[in-house]
Every structure is written in structure tokens, then in C-alpha cells.
Amino acid sequence: MHIIPVLDIKDGLVVRARLGDRDSYRPIETPLSATAEILDVATGLRKLYPFPAFYVADLDSIQRRPSAGSALEKLKPLLSKADAWLDAGFADRHAIEQGLATDGILPVLGSESQTDNLVLEHFHKDPRLVLSLDFRGDQFLGPPSIIENADRWPSRIIVMTLGRIGANSGPDFERLAEIKRRAGDRMVIAAGGVRGVHDLERLQALGISAALVATSLHSGALTPDMIASLMKS
């Protein structure tokens, strides 16, 4: 089971995400870092375990808001140590091509940012593309053709349940099992609701390959020993 730490970035700082209500997100306060600066938080997380990849959500770009600077520029020092799965609201071919041209970046195509399936249709065979299937409650966020046509899904698929982020309510196991059934041998990644080691073990039993995790890393619910054991299993 791979654990992929999450860095949600807003106004140039890492923020604490909860319930997908992005307007309410505030700079993170965590025992792992003295500041909410991206590299400080990432360094604190890598003291728990030398994670080989981070998931990075550039929330300003996703929401089409003015930004306090390029998240990609601030990430560059981190890329010498770990890959970044970057969701920056990619919605056109040029933006995806820029992401693919940067070493260490795996562009995440968020379904909520799409108006049609043309970008996915063009890039779905690229091994570095990650598709995020985004949900709020029972509602799929994005063009129905993306969720309906599993044969156009790439090799990595995130199942993002926004309403469970930071809510201590557990992952959406039922939806994850259904997506895994449809995904075949693709890598399915859970996002939203992981409370600790038992949730991760249950996800692993369902055949889920990885989980995006934030709250349980900062709270200490996942200890370095637990993380090491899971990452090696």
C-alpha cells in the first residue's frame, strides 16, 4: 500500500483541507513544520518517511483564482527528492504538455476541471497521466463521458471524495470497490477520509493500490513505524 502525502496549496501556502470547502481553508498548523511554506511542510512529512511522491493540489489554479506565485516553481527543490502528482486545474492540451515536459511532474487531470473528454481522449495512453474522478456526495463532478467510458481511463486513477476530506469519516469504500471493479488492472488511488492504519489495510484488501493522506499524517494517527510497514507491504 503506497501512502502519498497531500500538499493543498492556496495563496502560496500549504492549507488544512476539510470537506472540500476550499474558501474556508487556512494555512496549516502542524507539529511537522514551523511554517506553512511548501518546502517546510514537505520536509516535515519526509521526516516521517522518505515518501517518493507527493500529491499537490494548486487550489488557486483549480479555482481559476489569482495566485501568489507558481506552485510549480516552489516545488522544484522538492523534485530532486520526490515526484509531484500535480493537479493545477489542467483543462487543455498545452497545459498537460507543459506538465509532461517537466521532470518529476505527473500531471493530474481532474474531472471537475473538464468541459468535455477531449483532453483525456488525447492523453489517456500516456503512462505519466493521472486521472482524478472527482465526487461531491453522490454527484460526479465533470462530463459524464469521463466516468462512463472506463476504456479511456489511464493507468492511474484517483477516486476523490471531496466531502470526506479531513472529516474523520473514513473512505468511501463502496465507491472505491466499484471503481476498482471497472478499472481492471489499473492503479486505483483513494482520496478523502483515511483515518489511520485500519482504513489503509481495508483499502489494501479491496485491491486499492495507494491512498492520498494528509490529516492522519499531521495528527500522528499514522506513526513512522506504521507508515514503513504499510509502504513495504
24: pLDDT strictly greater than 90: no
Number of domains in the chain: 1
17's CB contacts (< 8 A; 6+ apart) are: 6, 8, 25, 57, 165, 166, 214
Cα–Cα distance between 218 and 41 in angstroms, integer?
Answer: 10
Mean pLDDT over all residues of the chain?
91
Q: 140 and 133 in contact (C-beta within 8 Å)?
A: yes
Task: Give the integer Cα–Cα distance in Å for 227 and 57.
Answer: 22
The mean pLDDT of 188-200, rounded to a whole number, is 94
Q: What are phi and psi of 213, to 5 degrees?
A: -135, 140
DSSP 30: B
pTM exceeding the 0.85 threshold for the entire prediction: yes
Is residue 51 scored above 80 in pLDDT? yes
Q: Place 67 in a pLDDT band, splitting at 50, 70 and 90.
A: low
Pairing of strands 26-27, 53-58: unpaired
State residue 221's pLDDT score. 95
DSSP 8-state assignment for residue 104:
T
φ and ψ of 190, to 5 deg: -85, 140
pLDDT cut 90: percent of the chain above it: 73
The CATH number given to whatever domain includes residue 108 is 3.20.20.70
C-alpha to C-alpha distance for 149 and 160, rounded to whole angstroms: 17
Instruction: Please identify which residue in the block is written with the cell numbers 460526479.
Output: 140
| Model confidence band, residue 71 (pLDDT cutoffs 50, 70, 90) | low
> Lowest-pLDDT range, 41-50, 116-125, 162-171, 174-183?
162-171
Amino acid at 57: A
Enclosing domain of residue 42: 2-231
User: Given this model, what pLDDT does residue 21 score?
Assistant: 67
